[in-house]
Structure 1
């Protein structure tokens, strides 16, 4: 028995486990295995449905037509994969968000494949759409895999961690496929079975990305860290910061409440607003402001801004946002205005100037403290993971 366990361990865990990886490796691989289990199970049903839709099981479709449909379907998927690859660095700084979004796209693609059973005459457009979604999901999975495994490796064992991780996924996939084959022989309800497996897949995917502990501060984790610092005076640990990160905020939908490196016209309604606040940032290589028409805080960088200036500007933007929230909450606004959120909050020029002055005072005394406490907790601060825009103020 001990020999069998040793053999199994050689395939599913890195050498020196558990000392060779960080603690969060186990929950991540557990949820990853479950996700592959449900994914493998669903693959049987979706493939079966696709083949039925083109008439393979009923011998009503010519072999040539089936081949052409399959080639077009796969070709559309490859085009989608190439187009999505343009996301580039987003795979680095919004890793969890994109990984989870990719898994949701995988489920969407599987659902569209099943829909071909209801409308087999629309097989080609539906199968093409499904394959685009699934290939985009594949790009996301491939692009985020190495950074995640790198986060688990304690030493120079990234290759070992990756190999064993993929082995766990393949084993779970095979087990899920086997279970699905046994279930399919009983002709269960397709919709019910898919629904249950899909729920298991999405839940496992969510728990999988939530279990990853990254050391870098992207925008989501940076916001969590600064917000906690402003409220409690302490920077959250790596586990706390990652746990509280919002993985549902997908990068391509819309910008958050803080915009880094925007164009001048997006940040300022009128040039005189810039002229009024610019003196407060005379010694800085950035300018931070609030645009009431968009309800966002903007951090603009001067052309000589360096890495630390960008980090400081991002910190200052979060501090200003904090003061704007306090100002918003202190106003006696009607319920209708509060329902509309910060977009309905129109501070006067005097109010905005007061918030900026207060934020400048706090940043001057607390930015160094924040950096020090973040380093103590193990956070790695880099402007690259904050994805600042390229626009710069040139004097």
Structure 2
């Protein structure tokens, strides 16, 4: 009897052939996903109750027609926000984990705004609309990143089974959280304290959920981790190590990183003379790399003949040059402090910069091949499309 019950439960929550049909990271991911949905379901009760109170359902301060109109406008605003944000679809492939976590933070922000309607019920419509926009944008992020994550867990052609069971686990946890929250709400707990507790649980579970995902592809964040490790140790990290070292809270829209791939000429070079001085070094390459001292960034410019491998090599070269400059800056800072305990000028001179670039060309010519081989040995799949190269090209 017990075995039959367990078999029935397993048929709903784990893919057929488990655990051999999925990767090892499936279990921790689903554990944190279930916990996140549990907290999300619990918060849903309080936010919905607050919205209904704010719009006047329980206080009989609004007619049923006005309530319906407000609710329709609120939902309509959310759908518009979802539609507008969906055009950013390709970016979900570049920084899947970062955007997934950012979407969950946005979901919490929307829930917080919904609760704020309790304090200012006369502002129900604008606040509810803003909250629904935030939550619908978060929903787009969750939906768009769901399939690639499930695909990473599937072994063979069982992506549909993995997806179905994953969604079932989320729904079960959501229902449990909703039931618990209904029981708690009958005791009229502090709204702020309850929300703060549930919100912390939701965000922490979301972070651990995303952190547990092991992807085989090298996007910008994981590419940086792999190259940095290779330059320092001569080894490329394993899939597990590379994913664990990836920065999750580095949201792509806040600012560009220290390496700009596929940049424009005017951003990379301060004057044409700098370009002419470096051009002979990259005569046989389909790209160029340089460092702009005024912006403190390394720029990789792609020529119009650049193919997939050229883009990957340009990104690798840019990180090598960045490593040279950062190492030199650290040495100069240490030397300067020993001499006068002051601050040093970390901007390399034109002569130093040309020497760094020349040295980086020599290093890349001998190390790019071994880097690719060691990355492939560890199971990494490199694709220039996930490095998000800009559209600008040198003619």
Question: TM-score normalised by the shorter chain: which range applies?
Answer: over 0.9
Once the two structures are superposed, residues 276-321 of structure 1 have per-residue CA deviations (whole angstroms, 9 ceiling, x without a partner) of 1111111100000001111100000001000000000000000000
Which residue of the partner structure matches residue 241 of structure 1? Answer: 242
Distance 1:346 1:79 in 2: 47
Match of 2:307 in 1: 306
- 2:323 maps to 322
CA contact (8 A) 2:117 2:124 kept: yes
- How big is the alpha-carbon RMSD for the aligned residues of Structure 1 and Structure 2? 1.1
| Alignment gaps of 5+ in structure 1 | 339-343
Q: 2:164 corresponds to which residue?
A: 163
Query: Are 2:267 and 1:266 equivalent residues in the alignment?
Result: yes
Give the match for residue 21 of structure 2.
Answer: 20
Partner of 2:257: 256
Shift of residue 345, structure 1, vs aligned partner = 3.0
- Taking a change above 3 Å as real, the CA distance of residues 363 and 163 of structure 1, as seen in their structure-2 partners, is same
Q: Secondary structure at the match of 1:357?
A: helix
2:106 match = 105
**Is the 2:229–2:235 Cα contact (8 Å) retained in structure 1?**
yes
1:255 alignment partner, SS class: coil
Residues 196-254 of structure 1, C-alpha deviation per residue, up to 9 Å, x if partnerless? 00000000000000000000000000000000000000000000000000011111111
Distance 1:279 1:337 in 2: 35
CA gap of 1:236–1:132, structure 2 versus 1, over 3 A, is same
Change (3 A) 1:364 1:162: same
Match of 1:354 in 2: 355
TM-score w.r.t. length of structure 2: 0.97
CA contact (8 A) 2:89 2:144 kept: no
Moved more, 143-152 or 85-94: 85-94
How big is the shift at 1:354?
1.0
The 5-angstrom pairing of residues 151-300 of structure 1 reads: 151-300=152-301
Q: Distance in 2 between matches of 1:315 and 1:165?
A: 36
By how many angstroms is 1:336 displaced?
7.4
**What corresponds to 2:8 in structure 1?**
7
Secondary structure of the 1:259 match is strand
* 1-structure distance, mates of 2:113, 2:72: 18
Q: Distance in 1 between matches of 2:33 and 2:86?
A: 23
Q: Name the structure 2 match of 1:341.
A: none
Structure 1 337/74 Cα, relative in aligned 2: closer, same or farther at 3 Å? farther
SS at match of 1:186: coil
TM-score by length of 1: 0.97
Structure 1 runs (4+) deviating above 6 angstroms are none
1:132-178 Cα deviation digits (max 9, x unpaired): 10000000000000000000001100000000000000000000000
- Give the whole-Å Cα distance in 2 for the aligned partners of 1:187 and 1:329: 57
Aligned residues between the structures: 389
1:337 is displaced (CA, Å) by: 4.8
